[in-house]
Structure formats: C-alpha cells, structure tokens
Amino acid sequence: MTARRKLGHCVCICYSDFVKETVSTDSVTKVWGPYPNYNGIARFDYGRLLWRSPQMRSRLLRHWRDARHPYRERFELQREVIEAVLSSTEPAEELDRRLRAQSTSLRCVAREIPPVFGSFF
C-alpha cells in the first residue's frame, strides 16, 4: 500500500529497478519513464506553477490539510518532500537525479501531490 509509504530514505513501492535502470537520451523519458503518467506530470507542472504565488500556496496547503480532503493523512506523511519538490527551481531532470540519490524519483513524488477538487477549495 503506497498510502502509508514514506518517501525519502526508504525503498518505495512505486520506485522500481526498471525505472532506475531505464537508459534514454530523451529528457522526458529519463524523468518520467517509458510510460509517463500524465496526471502526475500535470500535478507536478501545475503544482509548481501555482506554488510560486504565496496566496495560492497558502490556499493549496489549507485545502490539502482540510479534514474533508481524502488525501490529507497521506499529504501530512510526505509533506516535506512534496513541498521541497514544488518549491524547487531545478529543472525536472536535475530534480529527478537528486531524488533518485534519496531512493525515490520525481515520478514517484509527483504521484503523491494531492489533487485539488471539491467545493471547499
């Protein structure tokens, strides 16, 4: 169950040897693998874009920490890593390289960024 897995210095379920050993010259494939998850990519791209605005950042945090949000516990367990990824200005390829050194990947972390939905946003 990935909901309870901690990102960082552990071996995560969504981080497989296949993704780690994928050799590619294409920067998109290097980061997102041969079968990209476009929902994860969108969460990463739009999350980073919205995170730049202090007002939107506080709104996202309020939304993700709201008791009505179904991924609230999951976000709290991985908040530090998610916030670091969203606030980073590094290119995706560099960020992925740094995360892989910590036994995770950008692909794995992007999937953990909570969605935004509901009337309480």
Entry pTM: 0.75
Residue 107 DSSP one-character state: H
The Cα-based distances of 50 to 47, 94, 99 in angstroms read 5, 20, 21
Cite the DSSP H helix spans in 3-105. 17-21, 27-32, 38-51, 54-65, 72-87, 92-101
Query: From CA 3, how far away is CA 88, in angstroms rounded?
Result: 24
Query: From CA 22, how far away is CA 53, in angstroms rounded?
Result: 35
User: For 51-110, how does the pLDDT look when each residue is reduced to its tens digit (9 = 90+)?
Assistant: 999 999 999 999 999 999 999 999 999 999 999 999 999 999 999 999 999 999 999 999
